[in-house]
Structure 1
Amino acid sequence: MSATDAAGTLTAAPAIRGRLRRPQLAASYRYLDWAMLGLLVVVTMVALLAPMLAPFNPVAPTGQMYAQIGSAGHLLGTDAIGRDLLSRTLLGLRTSWLMAIVVVAVGLLVGAVTGLVAGAFGGWVDTVLMRVTDFFLALPAPLVAIAVAAALGSGLWNTFVAISIVWWPFYARIIRGEVRALAARPHVEAARMAGVGRRRIILRHLLPGVVPTAVITASLDIGNVVLVLASLSFLGLGQSAPAPELGADTARSMSELLAHWWIPVIPGLAVMLLSLVANLGGDAVRNVLARRGR
């Protein structure tokens, strides 16, 4: 082999190794995405089964106050009046996670219908619906949610109403833009020129096209709702005591932070982990749908 051939072989070797590594990296990313989706399922199952998984009644004292993490019978310890923190965290996780899913689902439903109708009909219908959407988008959503929750009073249902009122306009804008883009595509124009009715065009051509965007947007938004719910309960606008709620449990035990740090820190960590799992799961949903789209 000549010196020129040897040099060419040496130069090509890294490129060949790079091409060999790419399928391995792609497979690793796929496995990681499916692992994140599995983690979403696990968290949802834990939330659904929380009453059965909780070792104690979350609102009843167990008789052992200020038990530390890892104590016998109390994996996460107990609070100032002896309530088991693991039980309260599981029930608080249940409330935050399931409520976040319901808020996102309701907001997505209202926003998707609004955006789909506005984008499909156009004209004055689009103008009216989008001006209403713009009005809600112009409002400071966190302040409006706090004001509504404070006006309605504490309670899980009131918190749900307060957040749902300000959560749908974002979806309406996204879905409307996606529908307008789909409506300009050749296959939709061809269906319209062939005399296909508007209802059929919406159901057969527009609605299936916006589903991936809607699913990705909603999956990425669950973590934000978890944080908003925790913030409202931290301010005392969630469920009334002694109901277990992550944000409220953190707020009520802040005075224990220096002496018994685990009491306020554990529910705060649970909020952080829920938000992290939701964001990672949302990224995984986006990646899986993008690969299937390709």
Structure 2
Amino acid sequence: MADVLVQVEAQPARTGPAPAPSPAPRWRLNGRRRAGGADSRARRIGDWTLIGLVLLVTVVAVLAPALAPHDPVQPIGVPKLPPFGDGGLLGTDQIGRDTFSRVLVGLRTSWLLALVVTGVGLLVGTVVGLVAGMFGGWVDSLLMRITEVFLALPSMLVAVAVAAALGPGLVNTFLAVIVVWWPYYARIIRGEVRGIMARPHVEAARMAGVGPLRVMWRHVLPGVVPTAVVTASLDIGNVVMVLASLSFLGLGQPAPAPELGADTSRGLVEILDAWWIPLVPGLVVMLLSLLSNLAGDAVRNRLAHRR
């Protein structure tokens, strides 16, 4: 019998691309999408809730005189009555005035003044930053050197010095804070404008002969607005703290006008006997600052989502 030679041909090596991995099961993809959608929905609800709380605080501040159950300046009963009793919701202070009414009216002063300071500071800083960034050259150098002089000064000490020189009062407090607050916005807006000016659509508009004012209004300003809004919203809490600090030092409204920082300062001597007198206005300042910072983050998230 002849030998049968069985020849086994070796299979050639695979030279093509590696096979694609098998797709993930549909149930796993759907679960991930549902989880991502739930997180996004929860974040969106949380952001709008914080923004709504800020609007609610603003409405309460505007309507504070009508919402206050008593005159915040006149005594209503026995001094140092504890909260949730005969002294009302938050008790009475060291001379028998309603603490809740004083906190409401003091919140009005601190919150609305913080909004005004932030708005005016943003307006001045935006104008300075726009002009510096748009025109450049010696205009930019001059405006930025002036801005840097203000930034180099210790802002809190300058505000205290200006308020002390002008005397106590809301207008003087406003001027003291606004003097040191606008340079931050000017520097931020100027940097944003310089970045927008280098974009192709702005350069094309300028090469087409569009005037500088039209370029600023149609192309630069819309790109600056989101940054300005986010910066201002994150800054309101800082303004609240600065205003409360000036009031705490006696540089706010003169007594007996209700103000959160001043009421905290005057009530410190009663911290052991009537803890609510200094503690309540101090807690309100802390909550206002915390809420405004969280709402600023929410505004930033919403604007980033729209982009």
TM-score range, shorter chain: over 0.9
TM-score w.r.t. length of structure 1? 0.94
* AA aligned opposite 2:282: G
Amino acid at match of 1:101: L
- Quote the Cα distance in structure 2 between the aligned partners of 1:200 and 1:191: 9
Which residue of 2 is the match for residue 251 of structure 1? 265
1:99 aligns with 2:113: yes
* Cα distance between partner residues in 2 of 1:52 and 1:150: 32
| SS of residue paired to 2:54 | helix
SS of structure 1 residue aligned to 2:88:
coil
Larger-gyration structure (1/2): 2
The one-letter code matched in structure 2 to 1:176 is R
Structure 2 letter corresponding to 1:179? V
Give the one of 166, 173, 194 matched to 1:180. 194
Q: Report if aligned partners of 2:81, 2:87 keep a CA contact under 8 Å in 1.
A: no
Residue 70 of structure 1: aligned partner? 84
Deviation (angstroms), 1:19: 2.9
Paired residue for 1:20, among 30, 34, 43?
34
Alpha-carbon distance between aligned partners in 1 of 2:24 and 2:229, rounded to the nearest angstrom? 47
Partner of 2:246: 232
The correspondence for 2:218, drawn from 204, 210, 218, is 204
Partners of 2:90 and 2:98 in 1: CA distance: 7
Q: Which runs of 5+ in 1 are unaligned?
A: 1-7
1:110-135 deviation line (CA, Å, top 9, x unaligned): 00000000000011100000000000
**1:1-294 paired onto structure 2 within 5 Å:** 16-72=30-86, 74-293=88-307
2:87 and 2:98 in contact (8 A); partners too = no
Q: Find the aligned partners of 1:178 and 1:72 in 2 and give their Cα distance.
A: 56
Q: After the TM superposition, which parts of structure 1 deviate over 4 Å for at least 4 consecutive aligned residues?
A: 8-16
Please state how far the C-alpha of 1:16 moved relative to its aligned partner: 4.7
Percent identical pairs in the alignment equals 65
State how far apart, in whole Å, the 2-side matches of 1:239 and 1:26 are: 45
Give the TM-score taking structure 2 as reference length: 0.91
Partner of 1:3: none
Superposed CA RMSD in Å reads 1.4
Change (3 A) 1:63 1:128: same
SS of the residue corresponding to residue 168 of structure 1 reads: helix
Q: Deviations over 1:12-49 (max 9, x none)?
A: 86565233200111011001111111101100000000
Q: Distance in 1 between matches of 2:122 and 2:92?
A: 39
Structure having the higher helix fraction is 1
Report how many residues are paired. Answer: 286
Cα shift at 1:272: 0.6
Deviation, 1:11, is 8.2
- AA aligned to 1:98 is L
Query: 1:259 deviation in Å?
Result: 1.1
Give the aligned partner of residue 5 of structure 1.
Answer: none
Q: Which 10-residue stretch deviates more, 40-49 or 65-74?
A: 65-74
Q: Distance in 2 between matches of 1:203 and 1:107?
A: 20
* Distance across 1 between alignment mates of 2:81 and 2:27: 61
Structure 1: how far apart are the matches of 2:28 and 2:247?
A: 56
| Distance in 2 of aligned mates of 1:213 and 1:177 | 11
Q: Determine if contact 2:168/2:253 at 8 Å carries over to the other structure.
A: yes
